[in-house]
Amino acid sequence: MFLGPTTLSNFTRAIDCEWLITNGLGGYASSTALNIHTRKYHGLLVAALNPPVKRHLLLSKIDEEVWVDDRMYPFYSQEFSNSVHPDGYKRLTGFALNPFPTFHYASAGVYLTKRLFMPYLENAVVVSYEVLNTLKQPIALCLKPLVNYRHFFEVTDKHECPFSFLQKPKPNGVILDIRPQTQTLALSSTDGHYTPGEGTWVEKACFRVDKSRGESYLDDNYLPGAFFIDLAPQEKKHFSLIATCGETDGATTSRPSNITEDTVRRIYLAAVHRRTTLIRDFYQRNAEAKEEEWLNWLILAADSFLVTRRSTGTQSVIAGYHWFEDWGRDALISLPGLTLITGRYGDAEEILRTFKQYLNNGLIPNRFPDQEGDTPVYDSVDTTLWFFNAILQYLKYTGNLAFVRKELWETLQKIIEEHINGTLFGIRLDDDGLLAHGPRLTWMDVSINGRPCTPREGKAVEIQALWYNALRLMETLATEFEGVDDAQRYKALAETAAESFNNKFWRYDRNCLFDVIQRDRHDFSLRPNQIIPVFLDFSMLDHSRRCQVVEAVWNELWGTYGLRSLSKSDPKYIGRYAGSFNDRDAAYHNGTVWTWLLGPFITAFLKVKHYDEDWRQFAFNQFMRPLFLEETYTAGLGTLSEIYDGDSPHNPKGCIAQAWSVAEPLRALLEDVLLKRPQYEKQVLPSSQ
């Protein structure tokens, strides 16, 4: 992927192109194609201090200056409230992801290439340089690291700064002890020397995106000193700067005294090898897929969300970059697309273990807050039910009943009993066999000033579908593990739910499903949640009703890059996700397009079309091609955004990289469009499904 002078000279366009690289711990490096930060979340080393959470900015950026005689040429830029200064971005001749972020600068006979990459499972970043001096006189290069120590939700004001840096100069670098914390930031170079500075601050960097979102947007960064590298006339040099984060006096991947270009090359080759292996293994497993650049990027994007959770020692899933933590709902919905279609069955098992370990009152955690770390939040009715579906999908791919029986079966039984008897947040089985729950417990969970925007209290449509799906899975597993009596009990519960669902949720006036029912009240909002009963393997609807639901969703909710969260004909519809925090929250589930829903929609659409070849080609061309071929190259480069405006032209919004936005379309592409069905699907699912 390459952006040349035409794109880069269009400031407005280029500043919206963002890149992201990750380290498997929840940490990352990210900025824009112009190398100008536009969010508080941007930085060269955002480290997860308690992986995958407690993310802190340690190295914001490195500013490069080229000195020819007494004249300085800046190869960097920073945006302030009223200007962009200096004008280094104008010296940028190219930006590439090949496969890592690479910047090409040229000015005054000096050519500088800057590449960034991260060692896997290390809180570290490497900035590699190639500098060519074509002049007949020597030049000096000055590298100025801007450092910080703040949670990435916050900004730093030097006048209220709760930390300080103690410098410990070393050969070719420095170790910064962060006081009163127990963290260190080690900076080292393979060439030149480090000179401590006077401890100045670069003040009031302005983050335009945060400002537009009504968030804190002015940040101060500390300049501890600088690295100096000399180049002789007509000399070319390769050198690198590495930043590592660790506990006090500890270091991490490398020490300033021993970093060499050979070390950097080994780190780089390992990073490249890991990426090429991910792509190679995908195509070896999925011969039906033709290699495409956009597909390669999505394969790599899928990997970026898989992280190690320190508290369990197992894998988890970051819901989205930059600001989301590992969310249970997102992880379990994303599990098939991130791990199963890619053959990473061990990772799938670890993710299931991660969330199982935190089971509480029959509920799987909804999320682990970034600043609280290991104390999960359980405010969700659907996360636990998606846990069942993730296990079902795992079985379809692996056939590994032994794993489920040994590690998960007892947990699944406990969950069902807790739901039948009643658990937290008003979640309980009602007399009609449907699952009742309190407000703000589904994925449409936003509130403004404590008031839910989409309360959905009562019995939400997708919750009943997931409950039925879970009961049918329990029937299947009980047949294998326990015997006929237990299986019949789960079957009876499922049949009662299905009968009530069909009697109470069908809208005869629109030939679709109500979104929520509550006692004698029905929510007539036409929302995409009704696609879930058609999408799931075990469905309560007959073929005729499935077809009508798909038709209604297609006609009313299709929004180019996914499904709208509310029909445009609804008075509550908001077509733009913009404005203040409250304005955005109001639109979040009331018209905004959600890309993850493309996966369930494609599955449901092709299911009712009996996977006819012409319809599969139609589905790719009409529903998938715009997303894959366009959006992979905009906003978050090489990945897919969280949401899009409901109104045309459907601008990307929210997180620049969202796990389920990548996972679900990718799964649907493989399973439904290319018909690469799971190996053990027929053994696990009854033929009637």
Share of the chain above pLDDT 70, in %: 98
Co-location of 254 and 318 in the same domain:
no
What type of residue is 462?
E
Q: Is residue 566 part of a domain?
A: yes
**Nearest-10 Cα torsion for 626, 629, 631, 633:** -160
Q: Model's pTM, two decimal places? A: 0.95
Q: Is residue 280 part of a domain?
A: no
Co-location of 528 and 499 in the same domain:
yes
What's the DSSP call for residue 291? P
Co-location of 346 and 260 in the same domain:
no
Rounded distance between C-alpha atoms, residue 288 and residue 684, angstroms: 23
Q: For the packed helices 293-304 and 659-668, what is the interaxial angle rounded to 10 degrees?
A: 130
What's the DSSP call for residue 424? G
Co-location of 211 and 348 in the same domain:
no
Domain of residue 124, CATH code: 2.70.98
Co-location of 536 and 560 in the same domain:
yes
Domain end among 219, 239, 274: 274
The pLDDT score that the predictor gives to residue 180 is: 86
- What are the angstrom distances between the C-alpha of 627 and each of 99, 123, 334, 663, 673? 21, 32, 18, 13, 15
The pLDDT score that the predictor gives to residue 251 is: 43
Degrees, nearest 5: CA angle 16-18-21? 175
Q: Is residue 518 part of a domain?
A: yes
The pLDDT score that the predictor gives to residue 480 is: 93
The pLDDT score that the predictor gives to residue 181 is: 83
Co-location of 268 and 300 in the same domain:
no
The pLDDT score that the predictor gives to residue 254 is: 41
Q: Is residue 281 part of a domain?
A: no
Chain position carrying tokens 């599969």? 616
Co-location of 296 and 360 in the same domain:
yes
Q: How many CA atoms lie within 13 A of 263 on its CB side?
A: 18
Domain of residue 624, CATH code: 1.50.10.10
Omega cis (within 30) before 145: no
Extract the runs of DSSP E, i.e. beta strands, from 380-514.
Answer: 428-429, 435-436, 447-448, 451-452, 459-460, 506-507, 512-513
Co-location of 243 and 382 in the same domain:
no
Kindly give the parts of the chain with pLDDT less than 50: 249-255
Rounded distance between C-alpha atoms, residue 218 and residue 156, angstroms: 8
- What are the angstrom distances between the C-alpha of 603 and each of 550, 672, 675? 10, 6, 11
Positive or negative, the CA dihedral 564, 568, 571, 576 is positive
Domain end among 252, 274, 296: 274
Mean pLDDT across the chain, nearest whole number?
A: 95
Rounded distance between C-alpha atoms, residue 487 and residue 477, angstroms: 8
What type of residue is 599?
G
Domain enclosing residue 292, as ranges: 286-684
Co-location of 82 and 134 in the same domain:
yes
Rounded distance between C-alpha atoms, residue 386 and residue 46, angstroms: 31
**Strands 428-429, 435-436: parallel, antiparallel or unpaired by DSSP?**
antiparallel
Q: Is residue 469 part of a domain?
A: yes
- Nearby residues of 686 by Cβ (< 8 Å), 6 or more positions away: none
Q: Is residue 279 part of a domain?
A: no
Our count of domains for the chain comes to 2
Co-location of 528 and 606 in the same domain:
yes
Domain end among 245, 274, 303: 274
Co-location of 444 and 317 in the same domain:
yes
The pLDDT score that the predictor gives to residue 688 is: 53
Q: Is residue 666 part of a domain?
A: yes
Co-location of 290 and 269 in the same domain:
no
Q: Is residue 268 part of a domain?
A: yes
